Amino acid sequence: MRDASERLAYQRELIAAAKRLGLSARGDIERSLILHATETIRTWIAAHGRPKNLSDLLDQVATSFSIEIVEINSDADIAALLKRVPPTREPVLARLAAELDDSTDAVILQRQSRADWEMPYLAVINCRGWHRSRRYFSKWHEVIHLLLDGKQLRFAFRKRAAKRKHPEEVLVDKIAGELAFHPDLFGPVFHAHLESAGRLTFDVVERVLAEIAPDASRESALYACVRHCLQPVFFLRARRLYKNSERRQLDDLLSGLDDVNLPQPKLRVLSSSPNDAATQLGIRFHENMQVPETSLVSQAFNGSEDRVAGQEPLEIWQTSSGGPIGHGRLYVEARRRGDEVWCLVHVDSDVTSP
């Protein structure tokens, strides 16, 4: 949350969701809601049997929640849906083509006119273009909305924007991020591959993804693997960026900078995601900090090799004031992906914070 007003709005959403579900509105409400959702799916698995993978779990849970899911890959899919469920029966579908634009991941509606054998809820998932990689998460997102509504259903038609700030959407995303990689299915597969490899690698992520979460995106699987890993590890993304002060200069039309004096972007940390074990070490890779030129991360970005891996000293990672972020050894695996570098950074257990 960026400011106090956003934090307050999110806290109010947590309290409202807890009350709808009959949970306590005290303590760590967010964690209570995540545990409630996790336990709900765990109970479902116990009652219906263990699915073969997480995609199968999603499909079966959606059916249990009375949600029909339709993927839209082209305009032809919209036409086919409208032929099967014409707007004369469901008038809100007349808005579907306009609502399902490039800024929208999904729409869901409560059907007003349906046959007894048809599902009460219809979730239409945008799978066109860049939205396709989000389709698995988008489906879980809609399932979680119904789970959080409890007995107080609060929508007839809802549009889910790809970029959103509403507190309810933030909460649903956090819970969906957990359930999309439910620990009862994801955990055993992940730890078996991790034990075989010895440490978390990109190859481990690929094998886990193929076996247990075939419809999830590679990025979301990476975050899930980092989260489940007991070894201290960071997932870093880096790209060429300006310092904040340089960005302000460039944005200031009155700065009077000429081409000769224009600042040049450098390889910097775009995002840093530690797991719990890494957080406890007190080491931080700050967002927007410059990647050392001698780091394997820079080597992966500037070199021709698809993958770079090896050890490097933690001391080469310096804060803006010039001091190291810690002391010890790192094991870095870095891969160039377009204009970014993705990195798995393992921290030795004997490192010390500054």
Q: Does one domain contain both 196 and 124?
A: no
What are 28's two structure tokens?
Answer: 């760590």
Q: What is the reported pTM?
A: 0.88
346 forms bridges with which residues in the sheet? 233, 331
Q: Does one domain contain both 69 and 90?
A: yes
* Span 307-316, pLDDT tens digits: 899 999 999 9
Last residue of a domain, one of 163, 196, 229: 229
State the pLDDT confidence band at 256, using cuts at 50, 70 and 90.
Answer: low
What are 138's two structure tokens?
Answer: 């988008």
Q: Does one domain contain both 37 and 101?
A: yes
Q: Does one domain contain both 295 and 308?
A: yes
Q: Does one domain contain both 204 and 332?
A: no
- C-alpha torsion sign, points 231, 212, 181, 214: positive
Q: Does one domain contain both 237 and 221?
A: no
Mean pLDDT, rounded, of the chain? 90
CATH of the domain at 339: 3.30.450.130
Last residue of a domain, one of 229, 247, 262: 229
Q: Does one domain contain both 156 and 23?
A: yes
CB 59 within 8 A of CB 180: no
Q: Does one domain contain both 129 and 206?
A: no
Q: Does one domain contain both 196 and 341?
A: no
pLDDT exceeds 90 at position 349: no
* Span 274-331, pLDDT tens digits: 999 999 999 999 999 999 999 999 999 998 777 899 999 999 999 888 889 999 999 9
Edge to edge, what strands does the sheet with 121-126 contain? 67-72, 121-126, 104-110, 157-161
Q: Does one domain contain both 195 and 131?
A: no
Last residue of a domain, one of 198, 229, 260: 229
Q: Does one domain contain both 325 and 206?
A: no
Residue 264: what pLDDT?
83
What residues make up the domain containing 46?
A: 4-179
Q: Does one domain contain both 55 and 140?
A: yes
* Span 104-150, pLDDT tens digits: 899 888 888 888 888 999 999 999 999 999 999 999 999 998 888 86
The tally of domains found in the chain comes to: 3
DSSP track, 211-250: HH-TTS-HHHHHHHHHHH-SS-EEEEEEEEE--HHHHHHH
70 contact partners, CB below 8 Å, separation of at least 6: 77, 81, 122, 123, 124, 125
* Span 160-185, pLDDT tens digits: 776 666 888 899 999 999 999 999 99
